[in-house]
Structure 1
Amino acid sequence: MKLILAEKPSVSKNIADALKIKGRGDGYFEGNGYIVTWAFGHLLQLYDAKDYDDKMATWKMDNFPFIPSVFKYKVKSSPKNRDKPDSGANKQLKIIKSLMRRQDVEAIISACDYDREGQVIGDSIIYNLKPTKPVYRLLLNEWTPAEVLNGLENVKRNEELKPLQDAGVSRQWADWAIGINLTSVATLKYQKGKGKALNIGRVLLPTLKIIYDRDKEIENFVPENYYKLQATFGTEKGEKYDGTYFEGKEEKFKSKESLEEIERKLENKKGLVHKKDVQKKKEYPPFLFNLSNLQGYITSKFKGWTSDKVLKVAQSLYEKKFITYPRTSSIALEESLVGKTAKVLETLAADLPYKDEVKFVKSKRVFNNAKVESHSAIIPTYVKPKKLTGDEEKVYEAVKNRFIMQFMPLAEYEETRIETKVKDVDLKGLFVSKGKVQLVEGWKKVERIQSKDTMLPLVQKGEDVELVAHEVTTHTTKPPKQHTEKTLLRLMETAGKNVDGDDEESVSAVLDGFSIGTPATRAETIKKLKDVGYIEGQNKNLVTTELGRKLVETFPIQDLFNLDFTGRLEKSLFDIEKKQFTKDDFLKLIFDFTTKSVETIKNEKDVTINEVSSQRKPNEVLGKCPVCGHGVIEGQKGFGCSNWKSGCKFVIWKNDKFLSSMKKKPTKTMVKALLKNGIAPVKGLTSKKGNKFDAMLRYEKNPDNDYYSWKMEFNKK
């Protein structure tokens, strides 16, 4: 019997299904020579500082720097009470321990995600339970039955993954040391009043600095006017085309007067087609998605999406076996996947209206080991989804379309450049016109991408043309645009190198591990910056808050704002994975940096950048309690009567089962309407079949007891 530990229940179900296991126990599946159990992500966490030493329970400057001689793990804390272990995690750990100790279990297989974090999740659980049996590693890029069975035939000894474990543990301990020490001393130094701490982190601060720098660029931008000379020419056939005056490569001029002088010379003159170039050009599809590119594509295309949401939806599709591993930085596939990819393409192309144009080709652009780091690019699997949520469909279609584009004909277009001279006048420059005609739609057909072509009339070199109109136009330089999640992810991925996704330099930067964070953590970092109040979203733009700006301008540890410094740290973790750097050397570097940084902050002048008010806001009364007449207010878990201490039990729970079965949660607006009118209109409820509908809801007391039930009504139209 072999025991398999998966990272999540959904993944363990995929493994059990692949092995055709029917038996189920409490916290595991069993059958056909395997037991499959699961974690819930991290079941263990690092000790808090106070777990090592009681004096760390209160924050005092003299207690820092604090770096434990040995890092220890405990059961993860309950989200309701950080001082108590999570009951679900505790129970599952005991189940895993008892399964590991079973006499009939001869080997343990870690099947957590094949990345730095997955390695730490599996190893921390297994080795903290002190296994007496050999430990193996299942390394998969997708959870389809064929891949699971194939992977189980080719498991590795877990010791072979020691460099990945070292990198994961180094990251975890480094972030603990920097986070605990610098967050504590920064809060003590720069914040007045008790409340949320001033969060300091290795990846958090350089990301904040990217947004701050762009905000300052915009703030300090001084607009300047520039001028262009535009002309319209007419052909013998009565067709017209526009041209812009160029001198060499320059079309923008600072002096309006000099252009107006040239324009005066154009009066009553004719033109001559001096040169005409027509070139046929081919256009390749964009590369396959890695996580950052997928997040950028979805967040810029659809309103209300964040990179964090894209990752969650992609992870869901991965666990449902529809796409390959999403937390990847690669934009190509391993060359060993040629055969499998051809079968996936055949399956997906079968229903397409343009299926005859889809042709499998083994190209270096798609299959290239040199451009793959750990995991290949994100592509669909051979499992075709029968039913997806609206969000899942957006992400799945993006991945599927990008995949199919690689095997469609190249798009082809004709580019025309006309140079028109003005006759009988001595000018340094001439007028340039550019036009484009799409000849072959090719891969653009997949997403019906429309080319915005400028059509030019058919003229020949040496042909005379009329000078129909001309004018000097005024333009103003524009400030750089504020960052969006798409542009921010791009800079994080390349540690500040502002390069295009298809640029070779960006690919090599990513492959060398020189980045801010990892594909798995970047979305989380952006979300955290919002949650701690350092940045905020304005439509799709990201801007710093007053607190975020003050932190950048006050916090003295400049290395933590430096993209190169953070990029080098990430590169060191990458090198640990590759056995080119050691965990001990990395941690010494981090602990020395932390110790020096704490001393630097202590010696700085006392400045308050954040003042936390201790006054509690009074709870808004939403209406009268139907039971006792006291005010109903919003609590952490529900909307309840403020008279609850005296025994009133009226409450509408936020996780109400009736509403959640229709994918809804009660809102303030809904509760106000119920209390005022006895009925509330609710939009966007979801039926069991997944259809959306609207209804009127009542919340009425049961005649036989003190509980309340929902009643649904529909408007008669």
Structure 2
Amino acid sequence: MKLILAEKPSVSKNIADALKIKNRQDGYFEGNGYIVTWAFGHLLQLKDAKDYDEKMASWKMDNFPFIPPAFQYKVKSDPKNREYSDKGAQKQLKIIQQLMKRQDVEAIISACDYDREGQIIGDSIIYNLKTGKKVFRLLLNEWTPTEVLSGLNQLKDNRELRPLQDAGVSRQWADWLIGINLTSVATLKYQKGTGKALNIGRVLLPTLKIIYDRDKEIVDFQPENYYKLQATFSTKEEKTYTGIYTEGKEEKFRQKEYLENIQKQINHQDGMVIDKQVQKKKEYPPFLFNLSNLQGYITSKYKGWTADKVLKVAQSLYEKKYITYPRTASQALEESLIGKTAKVVELLAADLPYKEEIKFFSSKRVFDNKKVESHSAIIPTYMLPKKLSSDEEQVYEAIKNRLIMQFMPIAEYEETKITTKIQGESLKGAFITKGKVQLLEGWKKVEKIQSKDVLLPYVQLNEEVKTSKLETTEHTTKPPKEHTERTLLRVMETCGKHIGEEGELEEEDVTTILSGFSIGTPATRAETIKKLKDIGYITTNNKNLVCTELGKKVVETFPIKDLFNLQFTGRLEKALYDIEKGTFSKKDFLEIIYQFTIDSVQSIKEANDIIIQEVEYKRKEVEIIGKCPVCGHAVIEGQKGFGCSNWKNGCKFVVWKNDKFLAALKKKPTKTMVKALLKNGKASVKGLTSKKGNKFDAILSYQKNDDNDYYSWKMEFDK
């Protein structure tokens, strides 16, 4: 018997289905020689500072820097109350431990995602629960039945993945050290009042700085006027075209008078076509999606999308077996996937109106091992979805279309450049006209991409044309645009090397990305942008991202400038990548982080005292629902129920929000219902649902049981 640990319940269900296991128990599946259990992502987390030392329970400047003698893990905290362990995680860990200890279990297989985080999710659970049994690793790029069965026949010894574990642990420990120490000290130094924190993070601050820098460029921008001279020419067939006066390669002029003098010299004189260049050019489809490009594409095309939402929807499609692993930096596929991809393309093409134009071939633009790192680009699997939500459909269609485009004909266009010279004048320059004509739509047909080409009339070399209009126009230089999630993701992905909104990645950019020199990883960038919004360092203006006043103050005041430096952050991410590849040691990396943390804390302590943020404490008004029928104290609403405020002294009266009796009747207790119960002893409730699905009304009362301290519901009907 082998025990498989998946990262999530949905993935364990995919594995169980592939193995044809029907027997589901509490917390696991069992059958056909396998037990399949699951985590809920991270079941364990690093201990808090106060778990190592009681004095760290209160923030005092003298307590920092704090570096634990050895990092330890605990059950993850309840998200609603961090003082307590998450009960669901606690229960699932106990189930996993019991399964690991079973005598008939001979080996354990970690089936968590094939990345840094997936590795430490599995390893932290397996090794903290302690086992002497052999541990294997299932490494998959998709969760289709074929891949699961194939993967189970090609398991790796988990010890071979030690570098990946080291990279994951190094990232986790480094972010804990920098986050805990610098957030605490910065909050003590620069904040007045309690209840919030000034968040400081290794990836957070350089990302904030990118937006700050762009905002500053816009504020500091000095607009300048420039001028163009435009002529309209008429052919013998009375077709018209326009040209811009150009000297050398310059068509923008600072002196308006200069162009006005040229305009006077020309004075409606005829022109001649002295040069005509026609070139046929090919336009290739954009590369396959990696996560950053998918996020950029969706957020710019559709309203209401964020990078974080795109990742969540893509993750859902991945777990439903419809697409391959989404957290990838690659825009190409491994060459070993040629046969599999051919079958996927054939399936996807079957119902398309232009299917005859789709011709699969082994393209180097698509299949190239040199351009793949760990995971291939995102493509659909052979499992075709039958029903998708509207969000899932938008993301799936984008991924599907991007794959289909690669095997459609290459788009072709004709590019024409006409040079028109005014006759009889010894002008330095001439009028240049450019236009494009789409000859073959090709892959653009997939997404109905409309060409914005300028159509030109047919003219011949040395043809005379009439100058029908001359105009000197005034223009103003424009400031750079505010960052969008698309442009921000591109800067993070390439560590600032490429900052254009559109276009393919240059070879240098691809090399940079695939060597790990970036800000964050594909998996964390969206989360970073979301956190910057949540903590109030940035805000959105339509689709644009801008710094808040708090964000500006953090950049201008916080003294650790390395944390704002893209190159510094890029080098740290590159070091983590090198640990993953076994070319740099975890020990050396952590030594760098330890020293950086110590030096940074000291620098903050010695910096000038400035208040960046003032926090006003507001006492939360608690609404009293009614009197407790047991002890007479106030009943108030909590997160999980309506309970007696005297609960600390032992009063057990509570109406739970997830009450099973009411849930069976498709109802939840409301504030109005509980108020009526406390005031009148009963409440009239409408819209209850019977087992057969019929709606009915009833009068409910909530009465204490005679034989214990608990309450039960009683139901009666209005006569």
Give the TM-score normalised by the residue count of structure 2: 0.89
- CA shift, 1:257, in A, is 0.7
Partner-residue secondary structure (3-state), 1:167:
helix
Kept in 2, the 8 Å contact 1:272–1:463? The answer is yes
Aligned CA distance change for structure 1 residues 614 and 430 (closer, same or farther; 3 Å): same
CA distances 1:177-201 after superposition (whole Å, capped 9, x unpaired)? 0000000000000000002100000
> In structure 1, what is the Cα distance between the partners aligned to 2:273 and 2:660?
73
> In structure 2, what is the Cα distance between the partners aligned to 1:417 and 1:249?
14
- CA shift, 1:704, in A, is 3.7
Partner-residue secondary structure (3-state), 2:110:
strand
Aligned CA distance change for structure 1 residues 708 and 562 (closer, same or farther; 3 Å): farther
Kept in 2, the 8 Å contact 1:638–1:654? The answer is no
Q: Which residue of 1 aligns with 2:706?
A: none
Matching of residue 461 in structure 1 with residue 457 in structure 2: no
CA distances 1:139-169 after superposition (whole Å, capped 9, x unpaired)? 0000000000000000000000000000000
Aligned CA distance change for structure 1 residues 463 and 642 (closer, same or farther; 3 Å): farther
CA distances 1:602-640 after superposition (whole Å, capped 9, x unpaired)? 01111101000113476899xx99xxxxxxx99774998
The share of aligned pairs that are identical, in percent, is 70
Partner-residue secondary structure (3-state), 2:238:
coil
1:535 pairs with one of 529, 533, 538: 538
1:547 pairs with one of 550, 557, 564: 550
Q: Which amino acid aligns with 2:411?
A: A
CA distances 1:302-348 after superposition (whole Å, capped 9, x unpaired)? 11100000000000000000000000000000001011011111111
Partner-residue secondary structure (3-state), 1:703:
strand
Q: Which residue of 2 aligns with 1:147?
A: 147
Once structures 1 and 2 are overlaid, which stretch shifts more, 525-534 or 504-513? 504-513
> In structure 2, what is the Cα distance between the partners aligned to 1:651 and 1:127?
37
> In structure 2, what is the Cα distance between the partners aligned to 1:540 and 1:639?
39
> In structure 2, what is the Cα distance between the partners aligned to 1:10 and 1:643?
39
> In structure 2, what is the Cα distance between the partners aligned to 1:173 and 1:654?
41
Matching of residue 587 in structure 1 with residue 590 in structure 2: yes
Aligned runs of 1:701-712 on 2, under 5 Å?
Answer: 702-705=698-701
- CA shift, 1:373, in A, is 0.5
Q: Which amino acid aligns with 1:532?
A: I
- CA shift, 1:657, in A, is 9.8
Aligned CA distance change for structure 1 residues 618 and 97 (closer, same or farther; 3 Å): closer
- CA shift, 1:553, in A, is 0.3
- CA shift, 1:502, in A, is 2.8
Aligned runs of 1:155-554 on 2, under 5 Å?
Answer: 155-499=155-499, 500-554=503-557
> In structure 1, what is the Cα distance between the partners aligned to 2:446 and 2:59?
58
Q: Which residue of 1 aligns with 2:63?
A: 63
Partner-residue secondary structure (3-state), 1:84:
strand
Q: Which residue of 2 aligns with 1:713?
A: none
Q: Which residue of 1 aligns with 2:686?
A: none
> In structure 1, what is the Cα distance between the partners aligned to 2:696 and 2:657?
11
- CA shift, 1:496, in A, is 1.1
Q: Which residue of 2 aligns with 1:670?
A: none
Q: Which residue of 1 aligns with 2:561?
A: 558
> In structure 2, what is the Cα distance between the partners aligned to 1:265 and 1:656?
93
Q: Which residue of 2 aligns with 1:110?
A: 110
Kept in 2, the 8 Å contact 1:702–1:708? The answer is no
Aligned CA distance change for structure 1 residues 287 and 644 (closer, same or farther; 3 Å): farther
Structure whose CA Rg is larger: 2
> In structure 1, what is the Cα distance between the partners aligned to 2:644 and 2:157?
59
Partner-residue secondary structure (3-state), 1:175:
helix
Q: Which residue of 2 aligns with 1:600?
A: 603
Q: Which amino acid aligns with 1:211?
A: I
> In structure 2, what is the Cα distance between the partners aligned to 1:483 and 1:505?
23
Kept in 1, the 8 Å contact 2:78–2:85? The answer is yes
Q: Which amino acid aligns with 1:414?
A: E
Kept in 1, the 8 Å contact 2:700–2:714? The answer is no
Q: Which amino acid aligns with 2:126?
A: I
- CA shift, 1:25, in A, is 1.2
Q: Which amino acid aligns with 1:581?
A: F
Q: Which amino acid aligns with 1:586?
A: F
Kept in 1, the 8 Å contact 2:641–2:654? The answer is no
CA distances 1:90-136 after superposition (whole Å, capped 9, x unpaired)? 11111111111111111100000000000000000000011111000
Kept in 1, the 8 Å contact 2:435–2:455? The answer is yes
- CA shift, 1:648, in A, is 12
Q: Which amino acid aligns with 2:254?
A: K
- CA shift, 1:82, in A, is 1.1
Q: Which amino acid aligns with 2:224?
A: E
Kept in 1, the 8 Å contact 2:268–2:470? The answer is no
Q: Which residue of 1 aligns with 2:689?
A: none
CA distances 1:250-306 after superposition (whole Å, capped 9, x unpaired)? 111111110111111121300100111111100000000000000000000111100
- CA shift, 1:560, in A, is 0.2
Partner-residue secondary structure (3-state), 1:526:
helix
Q: Which residue of 1 aligns with 2:685?
A: none
Gaps (5+ residues) in structure 2? 627-634, 672-694, 703-712
Aligned CA distance change for structure 1 residues 141 and 553 (closer, same or farther; 3 Å): same
Matching of residue 610 in structure 1 with residue 606 in structure 2: no
Aligned CA distance change for structure 1 residues 334 and 267 (closer, same or farther; 3 Å): same
> In structure 1, what is the Cα distance between the partners aligned to 2:147 and 2:353?
30
Partner-residue secondary structure (3-state), 2:699:
coil
Aligned CA distance change for structure 1 residues 708 and 394 (closer, same or farther; 3 Å): farther
Q: Which residue of 2 aligns with 1:98?
A: 98
Q: Which residue of 2 aligns with 1:571?
A: 574
- CA shift, 1:80, in A, is 2.2
CA distances 1:14-48 after superposition (whole Å, capped 9, x unpaired)? 00000001111110000011000000000000010
Kept in 1, the 8 Å contact 2:332–2:368? The answer is yes
- CA shift, 1:68, in A, is 0.7
Partner-residue secondary structure (3-state), 2:304:
coil
Q: Which stretches of structure 1, 4 residues or longer, exceed 4 Å deviation after superposition?
A: 617-621, 633-658, 706-709
Aligned CA distance change for structure 1 residues 448 and 260 (closer, same or farther; 3 Å): same
Kept in 1, the 8 Å contact 2:414–2:436? The answer is yes
> In structure 1, what is the Cα distance between the partners aligned to 2:637 and 2:490?
40
Q: Which amino acid aligns with 2:188?
A: L
Q: Which residue of 2 aligns with 1:675?
A: none
> In structure 2, what is the Cα distance between the partners aligned to 1:293 and 1:511?
14
- CA shift, 1:351, in A, is 0.8
Partner-residue secondary structure (3-state), 1:488:
helix
- CA shift, 1:498, in A, is 2.0
Q: Which amino acid aligns with 2:547?
A: T
> In structure 2, what is the Cα distance between the partners aligned to 1:196 and 1:349?
54
CA RMSD in angstroms comes to 3.1
Kept in 2, the 8 Å contact 1:501–1:507? The answer is no
Aligned CA distance change for structure 1 residues 655 and 553 (closer, same or farther; 3 Å): farther
Kept in 2, the 8 Å contact 1:179–1:200? The answer is yes
Kept in 2, the 8 Å contact 1:637–1:655? The answer is no
Q: Which amino acid aligns with 1:598?
A: V
Q: Which residue of 1 aligns with 2:85?
A: 85
CA distances 1:513-542 after superposition (whole Å, capped 9, x unpaired)? 100000000000000001111001111000
Gaps (5+ residues) in structure 1? 626-632, 668-698, 710-717
Aligned CA distance change for structure 1 residues 651 and 582 (closer, same or farther; 3 Å): closer
Q: Which amino acid aligns with 2:599?
A: K
Partner-residue secondary structure (3-state), 1:82:
strand
